[in-house]
Every structure is written in structure tokens, then in C-alpha cells.
Copies of this chain bind each other. A is one copy, B any other.
Amino acid sequence: MNHYVDTPWTDRFALRTANLSSSVIRELLKLTEDPEVISFAGGLPAPEVFPLAEVETACRRVIAEQGHRALQYGTTEGYLPLREMLVRHMERYGIRVTPANILITSGSQQALDLIGKLMINSGDRILTEAPTYLGGLQAFNAYQAQYVTVPIDQDGMQVELLEAQLRTGPKFLYVLPNFHNPAGTTLPLERRRRLVELASRYGTPILEDDPYGQLRFEGDHLPPLVDIDSEYHGATAAGRPFRGGVIYLSTFSKTLAPGLRVAWVVAPADVIAKLVQMKQGSDLHTSTFNQMVVYETARGGFLDRHVRRIRSVYGERRAAMLSALEKHMPPGVEWTRPQGGLFLWATLPPGLDAADVLRDAVQAKVAFVPGKAFFPGAGGERSMRLNFSYCAPATLEEGVRRLAEVVDRAMAPVRVAVP
């Protein structure tokens, strides 16, 4: 009797996921609770641009106009007017779909989880970029995924290396073509076409994660893979259902507010129907109230105007970080020059380890995420993900200055060793 009282529960039986490693980002975000730390570690949108007044007005209108429906259970698929709005939104990017192609999720993280839940059998290989979004790895790891990877360069996935990996028979190909997290890179049009063509030839579904696509500061909009794939297949030609080879994810987290947890999936209707079943077992549905508030806030052109404002603020912050890096970083450190999004990717000279630099950086009251976290296997030891959306320009400059000092000190023995 009582034989287990003093044994931790989680030691008492084989957990499904026995070798959980604690999340690097989460542990780091705890450090950043110290207000003196300048954090480039999170992926937090700029709080200054949150549409507080508009959300407040939307809350009031939703309660006045929707009444008890706003607080009641809703359908798993999501609030129909919001899905219809997203149909119109997707059409602007060349994707002709119907509400049956759209599922509302509780953030894009849930979409990654539901797709993992639906598709990944233990041991299945998932093809990712290296590096890739950490949250994708966390979602897929829970279903015991294995990984095959294609490295990126300053233009994103090195598509000329893709075919060899497609031959290994991955379950799907997970890719972030716009303003990549963590690398800040964007896949050029030619690579997009080649990627879609190869994936189609091998019958490998593409999971296109596009949280930042609207946040472009410079250069021309490039068609998403789901668009190229549709053209390629004629999948949305008149009278034909959308049945492409791409599942497309996007979110309101980076354009309205992450705290509302509203995102969406675009996929062939049969995939959506299965994801709906997965979601029903996962959380029944996304908050009715939040879906209505997002709809009410976004409609009537507000979202477009607001996205223009975010672009301008983030563009200014990116410029501030780039010029601070040029001003302060010692020679030998390299970084990407993102055309949009929230992150850039800096790489230290050979011989340095970003995890060691982080330890010193936290002492110097500046934080980032070491690159290793974003690789399913080895890699990224010399890299740092730097977020530029959260801090004001003057803070970005001061943070880069602190970081450059730490890097400079860390490079001293390297310089001595390699004269």
C-alpha cells in the first residue's frame, strides 16, 4: 500500500515520450524576465503596434451583436465569417479555395501538432530545412518523427540538394519560404518552382509554414508554394476542387496579436476533414469569442492598414539591428539581411560556440537563441538567432553593442590560436 507516494509519478511508468528534453527557448525566455536583459531571444511581436483600441472596440461589438453565441461552444472547423474572410484573403495571393479548405486553429503551433497527429507514424521521416522552426520539431517529436534535412544558404533551402532527400521517402516536406525562422532567408522564385516540381514528382506533400509572409519590408512579393503548386496542377481551375500537394499555414499572431491564438490551415477538403477530427479530440474548437474578435478587428480593411504599419516599424528595427551589427561586430562574424519577418541569423567565426557565448551574453544582460536548437541533428553550433521585432531601435543598438563585446572577448583566444 502507498508504495508510490514518494516516487515521482513520471518515474513510475513508461511515458509515451520518455526522453523529453526541456525547451531551450522556454528556459531562455525565463531569463528574459529580468528587465535589465535585452532579449533578442523571443519571437515576440512589437507590443507597441498591438491594436489595443481596435480589439477593445471589437470585444464590445461582438458581445453586443453576437450576444450569447460569442460565449457558447462553436464548430470545430471555425467561425464561418472568419473562414470566408480567409477565402478572400487567400484569393488575393492566387489561391482559390472555399471554406471547406480552411480550418481555424489555436495558433499555427496547433496546426503543426494536428498535422503531426494525423500523419506521423512513429519513425516516419520528415524532411525539413536545417535549420528549421523549433516549434515544428517540438510538434513532430511528440509523434516520434525522424528527420532528413536539406541545408539552407542565404537564399533558403538549397533546392539542388533536395532530390537526394526526397528519395528517402519522407512523409512530408516542411518548409518556411518567407523570412525563415530562424534564418531570416527567403526562397527565390526559381527555387520555389523547382521545389514544388520535385515534391510533386516524388508525391511528397509540402507543409508550407508562412507566419510572416505579409511582413515584407523590401523587394517584391513572391508567390507561396501553394500558389505555384495550384498553377502547376491546375488544381483550382474553374469547377475543380482545390486538391494540391501543399498544406499552407498562416496566422494572425504576427499581424494582429499572438495572445488571441487564432491561425488557419489551407488544405484539400479531405485533409481538412481529417484535421477537424484530430482537432475535435485535441481542444474541441478554437475560442468562439476570439475568432469573432479577430474577424471584427480585421474586417473593413483594418488588417491591411495595420500590416502596413507593422512593416514600417519592423523595417526600421531591422535596419537598426543591421547597422548596429555593422558598427559593433568584430570582423569574421556574418549575418543574413532579411527582407521581412522577425529574425536574422548571425554566424560566429570557426572555433566559437554560440552556447558558450550565450552564457557570457546573459552576464552582459543580452540574450539570443543559440543555433543548435533549430537543427534536428547536428549543426548550428556557431549560429545565433537574433530577433529584431520586439525591441525599440535604441535598445537594439545597445543590445548589439553588448553582444559584440562578448563576441569580441570570446574571439580573443581564437585570434591568438590562429595567428
Interface contact A233-B277, CB-CB below 8 Å: no
> Is residue A59 contacting chain B, with contact meaning CB distance below 8 A?
yes
Q: Tell me which of A112-120, A147-155, A363-371, A394-402 binds B.
A: A112-120
Scoring A residues 1 to 19 as 1 if CB is less than 8 Å from chain B, else 0, what string do you get? 1111110111011111100
Q: Please pick, from B13, B16, B243, the residue contacting A8 in the complex, using a CB distance under 8 A.
A: B243
Say yes or no: is A70 at the interface (Cβ < 8 Å to chain B).
yes
The residue from B60, B259, B278 contacting A71, defined by CB atoms under 8 A apart: B259
Output the least CB separation between A115 and chain B (Å): 10
User: In the complex the two chains form, is B59's CB within 8 Å of A60's CB?
Assistant: yes
> Beta-carbon contacts of A54-75 to B below 8 Å, as 1s and 0s?
0110011001000111111111
Q: Is A351 an interface residue (CB 8 A)?
A: no
**Chain B residue with the shortest CB-CB distance to A117:** B142
Q: Is the CB of B139 within 8 A of A281?
A: yes
Whether the pair B259, A15 counts as a contact (CB closer than 8 A) is no
Interface size class of A (residues with CB under 8 A): 35 or more
**Residue among A17, A205, A287 having the largest count of chain B Cβ atoms under 10 Å:** A287
CB neighbours of A1 from chain B (8 A): 200-201
A207 → chain B, closest Cβ, in Å? Answer: 12
Closest Cβ–Cβ distance, residue A9 to chain B (whole Å):
5
Stretch from A41-49, A84-92, A308-316, A325-333 contacting the other chain: A41-49
Cross-chain contact B3 with A203 (CB below 8 angstroms): yes
Assuming A284-B109, A289-B259, is B119 touching A15 (CB within 8 A)? yes
Question: How many copies of this chain sit in the oligomeric assembly?
Answer: 2
Contact A55 B47 (CB under 8 A): no
Q: Chain B contacts of A290 at CB under 8 A?
A: 287, 289-290
| Contact among B44, B107, B271 for A10, CB-based, below 8 A | B271
A138 to chain B, nearest CB (A): 4
Given contacts A68-B48, A119-B13, A283-B106, contact A259 B73 (CB under 8 A): yes
Q: Which among A10, A122, A141, A171 has the highest number of chain B CB atoms within 10 Å? A: A10
The contact string, 1 if C-beta is below 8 Å from chain B, for chain A 273-302, is 010011011111111111000000000000
Specify the chain B residue showing the minimal Cβ separation from A4.
B203
Q: Which of A20-28, A174-182, A209-217, A404-412 contacts B (4 or more CB under 8 A)?
A: A20-28
Can you list 13 pairs linking A and B with CB atoms under 8 Å apart? Answer: A4-B245, A8-B268, A9-B243, A9-B267, A9-B271, A15-B119, A16-B121, A43-B73, A50-B68, A73-B258, A74-B259, A117-B142, A287-B287
| Interface residue ranges, A against B (CB under 8 Å) | 1-6, 8-10, 12-17, 20, 22-23, 26, 29, 42-45, 47-48, 50, 52, 55-56, 59-60, 63, 67-76, 106-107, 109-110, 113, 117-122, 135, 138-139, 141-143, 171, 200-201, 203, 205, 232-233, 235, 243-245, 256-261, 267-268, 270-271, 274, 277-278, 280-290
Question: 5 additional contacts, CB 8 Å, given A71-B258, A135-B284?
Answer: A8-B243, A14-B121, A74-B259, A106-B287, A117-B142
